[in-house]
Amino acid sequence: MTTERPAPEAYPGPAALAAHPTYAATAHIDDLRATEYRHLDRDGHVYLDYAGAGVAARSQIVAHHDRLLSGLFSNPHSENPTSVAADSLVESARRAVLDFFRADPAEYAVVFTPNASGACRLVGEAYAFGRARALVLTDDNHNSVNGIREYARAAGAPVRYVPLTGPHLRVAEADVVAALTGPGGLVGRARRWRGSGPRGLFAYPAQSNFSGVQHPLGWVELAQRHGYDVLLDAAAYVPTNRLDLGVVHPDFVCLSWYKLFGYPTGVGALVARREALARLRRPWFAGGTIRAVSVRGDWHRPLDDESGFEDGTLNFLSIPDVEFGVRWLDGIGVDLVHARVGLLTGWLLERLTALRHRTGQPLVEVYGPPTADGRGGTVAFNFRRPDGSLVDERLVAIDASAAGFSLRTGCFCNPGAGEGAFGITRRTLRRTPLAHVETIDQYLAALGVPTGGAVRVSFGLASTAGDAERFLAFAESTYLDRAGPASTRLAPRQRC
């Protein structure tokens, strides 16, 4: 989805941001911040980690409370009144999800999962990978998608990554086509795959959770023309962008609901085309996923609808909160949230990249697009000292926490984007001895890179001008023209 945004030079100064016409058009979000989200402003805290988790509105919590106290609900795998009541709410939530994504119920099914990672695992473990059925991924996938390669390799399938190009960390469409066609010659973009069955699985994020880059949704149809099923990781995209499954038709969509509206946690979804779902072959079965089973006869018959992918008892007390959440977000307006987040992102990028130390060195190095064009509300960067050296992201985490900011530091479970940002090439990795490397810090030392992570600020549904302005003031007062401590004892990096 494309929404018109102000030209870079049109972004106002800090004092005028809230009065800007584009910002004023999204004033309903400020009203919600003062009522439904007023807990965000307690104790002077500033929340800037919407890519990590959305925030819950007061009405969401009240609705959950009222529903549990006004009715009785039990395990849906029964036929008693409380079970039927729970099952009715779960099925209503499925319909609400399809409505939210404008998906045809005849084409798409909703499988409830613990999170987006669980949705990816369902596809990975059950997909028919093989020597002639490849897995193709972009470099900037989240680890929950990268992990699918283990299933592919175990089945002997080729695994091909599409590289990031340039400092903006985008992916060239020509490289996508080359990876889809694989070795042995090109297949023209206009030609459809005529082989028997799918050629493989193409997995990519609609929006990078590291850089905020938004990849073309048109790649879904492009990959399908080349014979691929498509897994679209929408976890970072759908909180602030409209995904219309009546227009674009990925075979699998993975997401976590807490990323959209904060609550409930522990519930995600695999939204899948029914035809693609029917081709998956699960490697095991569990309670709730089978029509019939025999121990002595050693046979089982799986359910042939979405229930066949929902292991055990669903989170039936929280899934109804998904319906409230999508209707809540729809009521606010995804386009309104998109416009607000786009303005704040463009404003912060323009202001941060304009800051210079007295030495002439830039205060920040941004990883990804330097403007709001073709990106979401996630901004990854590192601070630089007056001499040009990087401020360790772990030190920024300490400083930001002490100042009352919740943001993210590290590589955000996205090692491919991190390697692209820090210039770690495949050739470098091949030439560097890593046999005895056991920790992230040893890995970085072996590669000779100055840092292994970045600072990530992200905007979302309840973000305001005040959040952006306060972070800019923190950045200037803490790091501009400041050399920093001569030495600081920092905790070792634990994960990526």
Q: Which two tokens stand for residue 116?
A: 């987006």
411 is catalytic: no
DSSP secondary structure, 318-339, as one string: THHHHHHHHHHHHHH-HHHHHH
| Calculated CA dihedral for residues 27, 32, 34, 38, nearest 10 degrees | -140
Give SS3 for 229: strand
Whole-prediction pTM: 0.93
Instruction: Give the model's pLDDT for residue 1.
Output: 45
Return the sign of the alpha-carbon dihedral for residues 473, 477, 481, 483: negative
Instruction: Give the model's pLDDT for residue 494.
Output: 74
What backbone phi and psi angles, to 5 degrees, belong to 414? Answer: -135, 75
Least Cα distance to 253 among 229, 265, 271, 267 occurs for: 271
Instruction: Give the model's pLDDT for residue 211.
Output: 97
Q: What residues of the chain score a pLDDT lower than 50?
A: 1-9, 185-190
Q: Which two tokens stand for residue 454?
A: 């970045």
pLDDT in tens, 84-141: 999 999 999 999 999 999 999 999 999 999 999 999 999 999 999 999 999 999 999 9
* Neighbouring C-beta atoms of residue 450, cutoff 10 Å: 10
* Backbone torsion region of residue 481, taken as left when φ is above 0, otherwise alpha when ψ lies between -120 and 50, otherwise beta: left
Instruction: Give the model's pLDDT for residue 19.
Output: 76
- Tell me 133's DSSP state: B
Catalytic residue among 120, 254, 411, 413: 413
| Calculated CA dihedral for residues 67, 312, 249, 96, nearest 10 degrees | -10
